[in-house]
Amino acid sequence: MANYPTLALLVLLLLSATTPTESFAAPTLPPNSSASLTSQPLLDPSILRMLDRVDTNRISADIQTLVSFGTRNTCSDNSGASPGIGAARDWIRNRYLSLGLHVTLVPWQMGSCGDGTTRTLHNVIAWIPGRRHPNRLIVIGGHYDSRTTNPVDGVSPAPGANDSGSQTALILEAARVMAGHRFDATVVFADWSGEEQGLLGSKYFVEHYLSYFPNGTLEFNLNSDDVGGDNVVNEATTLQQFSLFSPGTPREFGFTPSGSTNDTSPSRGIMRQIGYWGGAYVPSMTMLPQLREAPPGRQSDHTAFIARSIPGVRFRQVNMNPPHRHSPYDLFVYVTPAFTARICQVVVASTASLARAPTPPLNMVATGTSLGTVQLTWSPPASGSAVDHYVISARTSAENLYRTRTVVSGDLTSATVDVLQRLGIPPATAYYVSIAAVDAAGHESLYAYPEYRCDSRNRCSQPANALKVAAIAPQTPAVRGLTYKGGTPFVNGTNLTKGTSYTVTAQTNSNTQSVVFSRDGIVVGIDSATPFASTWAPTIIGNHTFTATPWSSTEANGTRGTSITVSYNTVSAAAQ
């Protein structure tokens, strides 16, 4: 990629999360060992060179090659012949081998293709061994299988340019630009199969990684999924942004409501690291934090990690295009390789920096005082590069990102800082505080977990659910989508013919026991038996709305879920 700013031009980038008040105090001095100065990013010239090598044209060519396999469905031909997932598997493996990486094909078995047979599939796993602490495992991952409408159709075309060609090309390009560089931790490049049938490949990886990394410890997963930048629904602004999904504690999973900034989790810590360091290295991209594990009703491969208490996040394009998703229309013409390249740069910058950094400080405790200060105590990191200094930061309970960065000498294990003057927190405001370790080259660890929460009276404690990182928030009733005409998505812009009878069905989760249907804001029916549906014949030409509202009990009783509304058009038969 061209047009990179020089180190002298790179300044502290403030990535907005949900409000314009989320920002870092503008630094004026570089990091040092004085507790009286505020830290600014010290960027690694080696990492900048990696980012400058990211090649849009190569990513474009790789996506086209993956599409050319016809289908990469997990139930397709896995012998190595094309079309089929086996040909894609062998091509990915050979690409890693050409880079001089360690590579293994990890077999796992699946019996859910509907033909009564058990199939052997493979994850493609490559890695750059860590130089000093090779048992630290940092995973860049994504799935390489594709699908069409039927998830076990191994014959029909499933080009999968966006899902999953874009993430596979991203991981290959990350491996290419990082190959030949040294890292303290082992960097793993994982291409999983079986995602479209229930995260099967990534689950197998998390359960069995010790078979090929015998003494390894999984630190975290940066998962990419749908990072093609669909150019039908994304324009100039959203192609300079990306959604980053990270759950709190408990996890916002399935159809639970999105979370709050007034929460913490190890995955949210990764989100903050990407927001700060990803932004400093790649200022052309803006992170949009999504405070949940995945879009409602969806999953992706980082879920397999989080379910085992290993932090993970998902990178995704901002706007999705349902007609292209999981269909024969997920074509190369609709993706934006330059967008995928920019996401690749953020992934590489975040991974490379953390793979060269110390691990987080241990045993942190925060104690507030009546004098408007907070005292932190901690133990040095267990691994990673040598600590030069520490950075203490805080955020209000209404913010995602930390406000300021106050440096503490690397030979200390306690410090007292002024909450207003040093941390930037207004009086009588609840806030979260933590500390990170930084080496002499500026590589910064994740912040110590858990963060401590200090209330408006400056009384600090560990959040009650902070250690329940795998727990799932209670599910609420939800509508995943609407269909008509035997399964066709009923989406914004759908045309219905005047006088023709239609049945629209709500696709719901298991917590839904009834659905209220409304047209143009007027309730037209309540259905308490599955499939929840509404039938009518449109009579008035023009634009109309159709709404489905789920409830946890029959006859619209219990807990109400989030409504889904579709704007549709009624047209005359002659207009069709």
Same domain, 455 and 509: no
Residue 4 has pLDDT above 70, yes or no: no
Domain end call among 435, 461, 487: 461
Alpha carbon distance 73, 104 (integer Å): 21
Same domain, 434 and 498: no
Q: Which amino acid is at 110?
A: M
Same domain, 496 and 567: yes
pLDDT tens, residue by residue, 132-174 = 999 999 999 999 999 999 999 999 999 999 999 999 999 999 9
Residue 39 lies in a domain: no
pLDDT tens, residue by residue, 99-134 = 999 999 999 999 989 888 999 999 999 999 999 999
The verdict on whether omega for the bond into residue 489 sits within 30 degrees of 0, i.e. cis, is: no
Give the pair of three-digit tokens for residue 81: 């012949």
Q: Which of 153-167, 220-234, 560-574 has the least mean pLDDT?
A: 560-574
Same domain, 484 and 568: yes
Stretch 11-30: mean pLDDT: 30
Stretch 414-420: mean pLDDT: 97
Alpha carbon distance 60, 57 (integer Å): 5
Residue 431 lies in a domain: yes
pLDDT tens, residue by residue, 359-405 = 999 999 999 999 999 999 999 999 999 999 999 999 999 999 999 99
Alpha carbon distance 454, 462 (integer Å): 9
**Phi, then psi, of 166 in degrees rounded to 5:** -65, -45
Same domain, 562 and 507: yes
Residue 379 lies in a domain: yes
Residue of 299, 408, 295 whose CA lies nearest to 361: 408
Same domain, 425 and 489: no
Give the pair of three-digit tokens for residue 466: 């902070």
Residue 454 has pLDDT above 90, yes or no: yes
Same domain, 485 and 456: no
Same domain, 442 and 512: no
Residue 544 has pLDDT above 70, yes or no: yes
Stretch 243-260: mean pLDDT: 93
Residue of 103, 100, 351 whose CA lies nearest to 212: 103
- Better-scored residue on pLDDT, 178 or 24: 178
Q: What percent of the chain has pLDDT over 70?
A: 93
pLDDT for res 185: 98
Residue 99 lies in a domain: no
Alpha carbon distance 369, 30 (integer Å): 29
Give the pair of three-digit tokens for residue 468: 């329940």
Same domain, 377 and 453: yes
| Count of Cβ atoms closer than 10 Å to residue 367 Cβ | 17
Name 140's Cβ contacts closer than 8 Å, sequence gap at least 6: 171, 174, 175, 187, 188, 189, 190, 221, 222, 224, 347, 351
**Beta partners for residue 548, in sequence order:** 517, 564
Q: Give the structural domain span for 395.
A: 362-461
Same domain, 485 and 416: no
Same domain, 453 and 484: no
Domain end call among 461, 490, 524: 461
- Better-scored residue on pLDDT, 112 or 225: 225
CA separation, residue 565 to residues 285, 529, 548 (Å): 31, 21, 7
Domain end call among 408, 428, 461: 461
pLDDT for res 5: 35
CATH number of the domain where residue 448 is located: 2.60.40.10
Residue 153 lies in a domain: no
CA separation, residue 302 to residues 172, 190, 367 (Å): 18, 11, 34
Measure the N-to-C terminal CA separation of the chain; round to a whole number of Å: 46
Alpha carbon distance 227, 253 (integer Å): 21
Same domain, 456 and 483: no
The alpha carbon dihedral of 231, 235, 236, 239 has a sign of negative
The number of distinct structural domains making up the chain is 2
Total residue count of the chain as it appears in this document:
576
Mean pLDDT, the chain, integer: 92
Give the pair of three-digit tokens for residue 366: 């925060």
Residue 380 lies in a domain: yes
pLDDT band at 575 (very low <50, low <70, confident <90, very high): low
The position carrying tokens 């052997």 is 120
pLDDT tens, residue by residue, 284-302 = 999 999 999 999 889 999 9
**Beta partners for residue 562, in sequence order:** 478
Residue 545 lies in a domain: yes
Residue 221 lies in a domain: no
